Amino acid sequence: MARSFLEYKTDAWVQWCPGCGDFGILNAIHRALAELDIDPRNLVVVGGIGCSGRTTFYVKGSNLHALHGRAIPLATGVKLANPRLKVVIAGGDGDLLGIGAGHFVAVGRRNVDITVIVFDNAVYGLTKGQAAPTLPSGVKTKALPGPNIQDAVNPLLLALASGYTFIARGYAYHTAQLKEMIKAAISHRGTALVDVLQPCPTYNNVMTNQWYEERVYYLEEEEWDPVVKTPEEYRRKVPLIAAKMLEWGDRIPLGVFLKDETKEPFEERLERQMPGYMDNPPSSRPISVDGYPLADPWKVFEEKVVKKVEASY
């Protein structure tokens, strides 16, 4: 029998402001995990720093809270140590696209089989609402002394340029549609991005629920086909996908922009280089015998330092 989404909730008190878009995203994550019937023992949610990072406390799993900007490399390490786990990252646009931007790019180049969910509210909510990387220029939210004079980064285009093989954008209060996107992202073999637009009612008084509802529409309304099966099809479709990703203003598209089935995940590349990796990944190898670590740091120190120093006399 399928699991109930209630099985993925924890007892922790959810500490977000009333009306925060994070609630919708959390709800969609719980329901997506239940419908995919993922065993919480095989789930790792890695959170960044920020309001969104608290998701790790609210979803049942073997979760980790990373240093600022380091959710992606930590999640990559978890996945490569044990490729049987489902690994989901929950971070804000400030964490993943500001201090963590280099890692955001690197994971796409590798196509590691993990899902990156960006809680995209365009502000640093936890630290009182400063401009985050996705705040468009010219916008003045209430914490800013004047309109933003930096240009925004486009998470979808950055993901496309970095090699992500699944790219979607959802809206936090459209929980049913968002749940389907998260399910598709987790089921995808390779690095998947779900950029979730979300109001921050406490600090972003411009991009409100009403602001989004007046603008968002779904790609399905235009019979959009995100699936790419061959490199030729990829080259043909990429300009159209990029143009659609640039659309922002009176109309903001939501949905799955790209599902690239031409590239193998990093884990399969590793298996080719190290036959047996998938059957015997690092997490299943012994690290000690009779209580003694197999990697003896004293032996290494003796070999690399002590012998060299002795030889120099």
Catalog residues that contact ligand SF4 under the rule CB under 6 A. 16-17, 20, 22, 51, 121, 125, 200-203
Collapse the DSSP code of 218 into the 3-class scheme (helix H, G, I; strand E, B; otherwise coil) and give the result.
Answer: strand
CA atoms within 13 A on the CB side of 273: 5
Give the CA distances from residue 180 to residues 14, 260, 293, in Å, rounded to whole numbers and listed in that order. Answer: 23, 17, 45
Q: Which residues pair with 292 in a beta bridge?
A: 289
Structure tokens at 60: 């049942």
End-to-end CA distance of the chain: 72
Measured from the CB of residue 201, what is the shortest distance to ligand SF4 in angstroms?
A: 5
Measured from the CB of residue 61, what is the shortest distance to ligand SF4 in angstroms?
A: 21
Measured from the CB of residue 86, what is the shortest distance to ligand SF4 in angstroms?
A: 25
Q: Which of 220, 270, 225 is nearest to 112 (CA)?
A: 270
Nearer to ligand SF4, 143 or 270 (CB): 143
Contact in structure between 104 and 75 (CB atoms under 8 Å): no
Nearer to ligand SF4, 17 or 278 (CB): 17
Contact in structure between 199 and 48 (CB atoms under 8 Å): no
Measured from the CB of residue 138, what is the shortest distance to ligand SF4 in angstroms?
A: 21
CA dist 272 and 278 (Å) reads 10
CA dist 294 and 164 (Å) reads 37
Nearer to ligand SF4, 119 or 164 (CB): 119
Nearer to ligand SF4, 104 or 203 (CB): 203
Name the helix (H) or strand (E) containing 188. none
Measured from the CB of residue 206, what is the shortest distance to ligand SF4 in angstroms?
A: 13
Q: Which of 269, 105, 276, 272 is nearest to 191 (CA)?
A: 105
Nearer to ligand SF4, 107 or 207 (CB): 207
Q: Which amino acid is at 209?
A: N
Pairing of the two strands 192-197 and 227-228 = unpaired
Measured from the CB of residue 209, what is the shortest distance to ligand SF4 in angstroms?
A: 12
Measured from the CB of residue 53, what is the shortest distance to ligand SF4 in angstroms?
A: 10
Q: Which of 152, 117, 101, 119 is nearest to 50 (CA)?
A: 119
Collapse the DSSP code of 262 into the 3-class scheme (helix H, G, I; strand E, B; otherwise coil) and give the result.
Answer: coil
Nearer to ligand SF4, 10 or 209 (CB): 209
Nearer to ligand SF4, 8 or 203 (CB): 203
Nearer to ligand SF4, 14 or 153 (CB): 14
Measured from the CB of residue 143, what is the shortest distance to ligand SF4 in angstroms?
A: 10
